[in-house]
Amino acid sequence: MSERKDEKWLDEQLQRVVDGATPVFDAQAWKQKYTTEYEALLAGGEQPVGWGLPHPTMRILRGPFVKLAIAAAVLATAGVLLVGRFAPTPVQPVPATAPPSAAQMVSMISLSAAFRQGGMEGLDKQCDRALEKLGPRPNRMSMQELLKDLNGKG
């Protein structure tokens, strides 16, 4: 249904209920019937809390000292946040890294990094440094030599 049809239907229903006559508002009859409500409307400023007037605690918050206290609290909060942001951060010492072992030098990650940086020449240099660090190795090792080497005593 459109709005026009709804309004027309509502008008017809109202006219049927009000004996077919157009309703007219009678202010004097309303004043006599609802005297307390009419007096409340005329009172205006004497309305109870919750009728559109500010709450009594809101009147307290309008004082000059309260405004000053709120401004001081805002400034203190901003100061704490700014001091925390611009304060020097504690300097942590960088842990000393041991030079890479020969095994690390010939690992896949290390070799691929060397290749990316210097191509085949970089890869050859990396392998030469690992060989210098390891030194010549015998073709055969006894079990004792192997265990001694693994334990780091060799």
Question: Which of the pair, 69 or 3, is modelled with greater confidence?
Answer: 69
pLDDT band for position 57 (50/70/90)?
low
**Inter-residue contact 153 to 146 (CB < 8 Å):** no
Cα dihedral 77, 79, 81, 84, rounded to 10, equals: -140
Average pLDDT for 76-87: 80
Q: Is the pLDDT of residue 48 over 60?
A: no
Helix (H, G, I), strand (E, B) or coil at 134: helix
Highest mean pLDDT among 12-16, 18-22, 103-107: 12-16
Question: Which of the pair, 90 or 26, is modelled with greater confidence?
Answer: 26
pLDDT band for position 111 (50/70/90)?
confident
Average pLDDT for 36-64: 66
pLDDT band for position 67 (50/70/90)?
confident
Q: What per-residue confidence (pLDDT) applies to 73? A: 92
Q: What per-residue confidence (pLDDT) applies to 153? A: 53
Model-level pTM?
0.27
**If you average pLDDT over every residue of the chain, what do you get?**
75
Give how far Cα 52 sits from Cα of 48, 56, 60, 102, Å.
9, 12, 17, 83
Q: Which of 38, 18, 17 is nearest to 28 (CA)?
A: 38
pLDDT digits (tens, 9 = 90+) for 135-147: 766 677 777 777 7
> Where would I find the H helices in 18-88?
27-33, 35-43, 56-60, 64-86
Q: Which two tokens stand for residue 70?
A: 């709120």
Q: What per-residue confidence (pLDDT) applies to 154? A: 47
Got the DSSP string for 88-109?
PPPPPPPPPPPPPPHHHHTSHH
Residue 126 CB coordination number (10 Å):
19
